[in-house]
Each structure stands twice: as structure tokens, then as C-alpha cells.
């Protein structure tokens, strides 16, 4: 069965594979039954001299070498399966990356992952150019994972106490998308507008609403937004010490990516890994002294250096505007920031989490600058931060756990989201008194 593929044409978003091999080294590729049968028929065990795939938990994944790369990655940076047998012989997950697919009614909605470098730089062909290629894969998707594409999505949880239909969600997403894409206003103002909408909805008793009233409320708030922003000229206060601690916890959760060799450890190795993670979590909570190793790297920098990093230059701020606009549109327009693609969270909870992730992007970007020994952010720092955050969003158990939901809920109180975005985002320069090492 082939289903039509919905690919929103995100402003200026392009992509083509440039064979950087980042995905071949960092991602754990889960195999379908058809993938395994095809690999067996191709007799790769005898060709490689090692098992082409191994069991991981309840699933099966492509094997990696001792150096951490996929066993099919050649020295020239090309996939051996692709080189010898063509694209169609590769595992499904490899063929579809960096796209994701989700059933939506009688169609498949496609989104794109921002943990691929060519996505962050928007280097390649416009996304609609891949519609036919993705549509040709839909019959394989439905056959390989029917449970993912058969559940009823006639109604969507907007909040814990309000469900809406798909048409209402389309209306709301359409208004948010139009606001975020309007580059006539600076990026910081568009984020403030999104923040105001989400904060207002957080404070409303939505159990008294139905879908139509909710859409009308969002429309009214959006219509009034330009005047609201122009009138609100108050300085955003610094985050509280508790808010800073929770942000560092969120950064730890976004950076809690498990590598292949870590996922394959035995019982003793798993215990050691868990104790190591607990030690890192305590260091992140403390927020002083040397930075602990997170996000699969070990850098030499301190929390105090992060606090001193200066914002982007105006020229690079414009590049960051483009990148983060594309990222927000991708997460909202393509429904990647809530629902089944984000731990089953309601739309409003997902929007709150997305705003938290903007502050986390700012934290990781400053971390990258500090590690490089610079006192000012660069666009490369922002790109690296977006890749770290997107790699785990919707995939890391740490983020989707009950503690993650409670953390987002707390940060949505007492203007926490606005304070952290102002401190770490592109809204304004860091306050000289707002020290990251505050506890």
C-alpha cells in the first residue's frame, strides 16, 4: 500500500547527503525483519568476517567496529552495501534518514531530523524533491511496522484535559507556523510571541474549551500579538538558581545519548555506566568547576566559562535566525515536537518542551565555544548544539520520563521559560550578573 506523503515546504530548508558519515558512526540502526532477511541473502557474514547485525535488547541492529563505525562503512566513506548492490539493498532506516515518517489519516507526514550536518546548513535539494522517493517507501513502512501506522489519530490531545480533531490542530499549527516564518520580525520577537501564546494557554482552564473555541482563542491571541510585543518593553529578569539547575538537568537529558558500545555492555559494564551517569548528573546539578563529559564527548571547559561567552555577531546571528526558524518550523509544522513523535505528550506540553530546548541549544552552543577557547559564539557552535538537542528529542528515555515532564512543567511557571531563553537564546545578551555557576 502506497500512501501520499505530506512534506511541508519549510522556508529555505534543503538537504542532500554529502557523505560526511556522521550517521554511519553515531547512530544505532535498527533493522526490520525484511532488512535481516535481505542481509542474510546477501551473505555478508562471510564477506565481512564479522556478524553484520547483533541483538540489542528486544531488537536487532547493525553491528559496529571497535572504532565505533558501522561495519559496512568503507575507508573511502561509502557504504559497502550501497557500493556493491545499490541504494535499494540498504536497510530501511539508512535509506530514509534523515527523514522520519508518521501516519496521519490517509497520508504519511514526513519530517526531517536536524542531527544531520547538511540539514543544519540547508545544503542540497528542496525537501519536496524527495516526495516520490519517500512515497515509494510507504508500502514497506506499513508492512514493517504496522503498529506505528494503524492507531487512531482522529483526535489529538492538546492538553491533559482537552482533545481536538485534526482540522482544529491544522488551524492552530497554521497560525503558529505563519508567525514563526514571518522574518519581517526578528527571531527574538517571534520566539517571544510563541512564548506568550504558550504561557497564556498554560494559564487557561482548557477543560472548559472545545476545539473551535480553542482555535478562536489562539487566533485572537495571534492577531493581538504584534501590539502586545510592542507594548511589552520590560527587561526580562535573570533565571532563579532553581531554574538554572533545572536547565542544566535538561541539558544533561538532551546530552544523554547512548553509543553503540555503551548499549552493548554486559551487566557489569551497564552498572558502571549508570554510576558514571549519576556522577555526571550530580556535577550538572552543582554547576561549578569543570564541565563533565556529556553528549558523547569529553571537553576541557568550566561552567564559569559558559557564563562569560558573548553572543553572536550580527552577521552570524542572521544565520542562526535562519537555522532556528527552520528548526522550530520543522518541530511544529511536522508535528515532531508532540504526540506520538514526542513520547505521546499533548501538544501544549510539547510546545513547552520545545521552548525549553531553545534554551538548551543556547547552553550547548556556549559550551562548544568555551571548549574551543573562544569568548564569543559562532554559527558553528549553534549548529553543533542543534544537532545534539535534536538527536535525542523524542528518542532519549531521559527526556520522556516522568521527571522530564515535571521539569518542563516547573520551568513553565514563574516565567522560567522566558528567563532561560533570554539568558541562553538570541533574545538578548547574557546578563553580566547572571552567572551560570549560581546554585
Mean pLDDT of 377-405: 94
pLDDT value at residue 163: 96
Return d(Cα 214, Cα 162) in angstroms, integer. 9
pLDDT of residue 146: 58
Looking from the CA of 387 toward its CB, the CA atoms found within 13 Å total 22
Tell me what pLDDT residue 429 has: 43
Give the residue from 313, 426, 319, 396 showing the smallest Cα distance to 115. Answer: 396
- Residue-wise pLDDT for 70-102, tens only, equals 999 999 999 999 999 999 999 999 999 999 988
Tens digit of pLDDT for each residue in 272-306? 777 788 888 898 999 999 998 886 677 889 999 99
Please name every residue paired with 165 in a beta bridge, in sequence order, or none if there are none.
155
Residue 434 pLDDT > 60, yes or no? no
- Looking at mean pLDDT, say which of 131-135, 241-245, 262-266 comes out highest: 241-245
pLDDT in tens, 339-366: 989 999 999 999 999 999 999 999 999 9
Of 429 and 215, more confident = 215
Peptide bond just before 309 cis, omega within 30 deg: no
pTM: 0.92
| Residues 421 and 427: beta-carbon distance below 8 Å | yes
Q: Please tell me the predicted confidence (pLDDT) of residue 65.
A: 94
Share of the chain above pLDDT 70, in %: 92
Lateral strand order in the sheet of 99-104: 5-6, 107-112, 99-104
From the list 435, 44, 54, 75, the residue with the least C-alpha distance to 261 is 54
Q: What band does 103 get if pLDDT is binned at 50, 70 and 90?
A: confident
- SS3 of the chain: the string is CCCCEECCCCCCCEECCCCCCHHHHHCCCECCHHHHHHHHHCCHHHHHCCCCEEEECCEEEECECCCCCECCECCCCCEHHHHHHCHHHCCHHHHHCCEEEEEECCEEEEEECCCCHHHHCCCCEEHHHHHHHHHHHHHHHHHHCHHHCCCCCCEEEEECCEEEEHHHHHHHHHHHHHHHHCCCCCHHHHHHHHHHHHHHHHHCCHHHCCHHHHHHHHHHHHHHHHHHHHHCCCCCCCCCHHHHHHHHHHHHHHHCCCCHHHHCCCHHHHHHHHHHHHHHHHHHHHCCCECCCCCCCCCCCEHHHHHHCECCCHHHHHHHHHHHHHHHHHHHHCCCCCECCCCCECHHHHHHHHHHHHHHHHHHHHHHHHHCCCCECCHHHHHHHHHHHHHHCCCCHHHHCHHHHHHHHHHCCCCHHHHHHHHHCCCCCCCCCCCCCCC
Region 28-53: mean pLDDT is 93
Return the pLDDT at 3: 75
Question: Once rounded to an integer, what is the mean pLDDT over residues 313-327?
Answer: 93
Rg of the chain over Cα atoms, rounded to whole angstroms, equals 22
Mean residue pLDDT across the chain = 89
C-alpha cell at 341: 513523535
The per-residue pLDDT for 144 is 58
Q: pLDDT per residue over 135-192, tens digit each?
A: 888 777 665 555 555 555 668 999 999 999 999 999 999 999 999 999 899 999 999 9
Amino acid at each position: 500500500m502506497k500512501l501520499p506523503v505530506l512534506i511541508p515546504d519549510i522556508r529555505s530548508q534543503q538537504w542532500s547527503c554529502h557523505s560526511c558519515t556522521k550517521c554511519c558512526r553515531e547512530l544505532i540502526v535498527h533493522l526490520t525483519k525484511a532488512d535481516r532477511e535481505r542481509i542474510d541473502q546477501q551473505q555478508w557474514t562471510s564477506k565481512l568476517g564479522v556478524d553484520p547485525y547483533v541483538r540489542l535488547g528486544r531488537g536487532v541492529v547493525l553491528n559496529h567496529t571497535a572504532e565505533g563505525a558501522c561495519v559496512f562503512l568503507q575507508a573511502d566513506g561509502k557504504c559497502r552495501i550501497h557500493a556493491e548492490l545499490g541504494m535499494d539493498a540498504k536497510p530501511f532506516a539508512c535509506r530514509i534518514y534523515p527523514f522520519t515518517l508518521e501516519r496521519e489519516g490517509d497520508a504519511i507526514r514526513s519530517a526531517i531530523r536536524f542531527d544531520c550536518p547538511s540539514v543544519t546548513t540547508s545544503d542540497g535539494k528542496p525537501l519536496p524533491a524527495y516526495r516520490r522517493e519517500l512515497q515509494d517507501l510507504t508500502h514497506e513502512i506499513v508492512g514493517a511496522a504496522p503498529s506505528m501506522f494503524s492507531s487512531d489519530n482522529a483526535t489529538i490531545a492538546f492538553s491533559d484535559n482537552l482533545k481536538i480533531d485534526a482540522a482544529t490542530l491544522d488551524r492552530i499549527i497554521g497560525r503558529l507556523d505563519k508567525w514563526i516564518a514571518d522574518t519581517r520580525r526578528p527571531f527574538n520577537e517571534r520566539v517571544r510571541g510563541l512564548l506568550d501564546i504558550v504561557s497564556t494557554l498554560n494559564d487557561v482552564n482548557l477543560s472548559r474549551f472545545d476545539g473551535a473555541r480553542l482555535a478562536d482563542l489562539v487566533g485572537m491571541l495571534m492577531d493581538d500579538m504584534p501590539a502586545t510585543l510592542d507594548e511589552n518593553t520590560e527587561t526580562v529578569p535573570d533565571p532563579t538558581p532553581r531554574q538554572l539547575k533545572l536547565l542544566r538537568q535538561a541539558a544533561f537529558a538532551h546530552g544523554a545519548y547512548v553509543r553503540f558500545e555503551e548499549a552493548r555492555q554486559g551487566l557489569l559494564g551497564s552498572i558502571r555506566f549508570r554510576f558514571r551517569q549519576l556522577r555526571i548528573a550530580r556535577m550538572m546539578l552543582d554547576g561549578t568547576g569543570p564541565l563533565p563529559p556529556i553528549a558523547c564527548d569529553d571537553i576541557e571547559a568550566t561552567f564559569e566559562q559558559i557564563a562569560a561567552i558573548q553572543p553572536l555577531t550580527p552577521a552570524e546571528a542572521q544565520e542562526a535566525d535562519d537555522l532556528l526558524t527552520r528548526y522550530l518550523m520543522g518541530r511544529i509544522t511536522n508535528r515532531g515536537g508532540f504526540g506520538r513523535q514526542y513520547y505521546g505528550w499533548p501538544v501544549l506540553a510539547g510546545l513547552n518542551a520545545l521552548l525549553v530546548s531553545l534554551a538548551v541549544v543556547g547552553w550547548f552552543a556556549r559550551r562548544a565555544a568555551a571548549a574551543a577557547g573562544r569568548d564569543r559564539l559562532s554559527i558553528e557552535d549553534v549548529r553543533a548544539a542543534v544537532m545534539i538537542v535534536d538527536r535525542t528529542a523524542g528518542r532519549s528515555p531521559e527526556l520522556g520520563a516522568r521527571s522530564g515532564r515535571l521539569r518542563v512543567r516547573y520551568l513553565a511557571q514563574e516565567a522560567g521559560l522566558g528567563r532561560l531563553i533570554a539568558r541562553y537564546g538570541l533574545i538578548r545578551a547574557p546578563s553580566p550578573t547572571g552567572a551560570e555557576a549560581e546554585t
